[in-house]
């Protein structure tokens, strides 16, 4: 692969893709929410044979990476086997809410959880786990790339019930 410029540890894409493939061996499709250029999606497709769409309104993906140039909403989760939010920024809450119907791997980096309350990394993870407790189970995982934003939450629904697709506008 050609060299690309990224902020943070470039290994995060490889490590996260390997983790997803190991934890969800039956997964054939994934959504990489706010996935930017699509390096995680590319790794999932090429190394693990998991079809992955980048869902990101910015439309910055590399050539050959499937994408949906739109904002992600939890109603889209039913189209995928697993939802991934590797530093999903403003899509954080929608990614977490996807765990009501699909497994989610989320690695939050920024406090887009509570609009007017600043939370540190661990407080943010606590708040997400508390929110998700009503809908399923969670597990904390430290991914093997440079932190501090290498703490992942695996969120699982208590039951997988597909609900009809609806657009999340307005």
3-state secondary structure 17-41: HHHHHHHCCCCCEEEEECCCCCHHH
Using a pLDDT cut of 70, give the percent of the chain over it: 89
Q: Residues 129-145: what's their mean pLDDT?
A: 95
Correct CATH for 11-157 of 3.40.50.150, 3.30.70.100, 2.130.10.30, 3.40.50.410: 3.40.50.150
The overall average pLDDT reported for the chain is 89
Domain boundaries, the chain: 11-157
Which of the pair, 94 or 170, is modelled with greater confidence? 94
pLDDT per residue as tens digits for the range 49-60? 999 999 999 999
């Amino acid at each position: 692969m050609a060299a690309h410029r990224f902020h943070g540890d470039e290994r995060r894409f490889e490590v996260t893709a390997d983790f997803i493939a190991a934890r969800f061996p039956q997964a054939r499709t994934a959504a990489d929410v706010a996935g930017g250029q699509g390096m995680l999606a590319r790794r999932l497709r090429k190394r693990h044979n998991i079809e992955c769409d980048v869902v990101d309104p910015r439309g910055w993906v590399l050539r050959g990476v499937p994408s949906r140039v739109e904002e992600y909403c939890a109603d889209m989760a039913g189209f995928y086997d697993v939802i991934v939010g590797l530093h999903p920024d403003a899509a954080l809450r929608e990614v977490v809410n996807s765990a009501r119907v699909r497994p989610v791997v989320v690695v939050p980096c920024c406090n887009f959880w509570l609009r007017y309350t600043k939370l540190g990394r661990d407080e943010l993870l606590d708040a997400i786990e508390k929110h998700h407790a009503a809908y399923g189970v969670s597990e904390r995982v430290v991914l093997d790339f440079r932190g501090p934003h290498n703490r992942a939450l695996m969120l699982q629904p208590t039951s997988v019930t597909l609900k009809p697709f609806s657009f999340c506008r307005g």
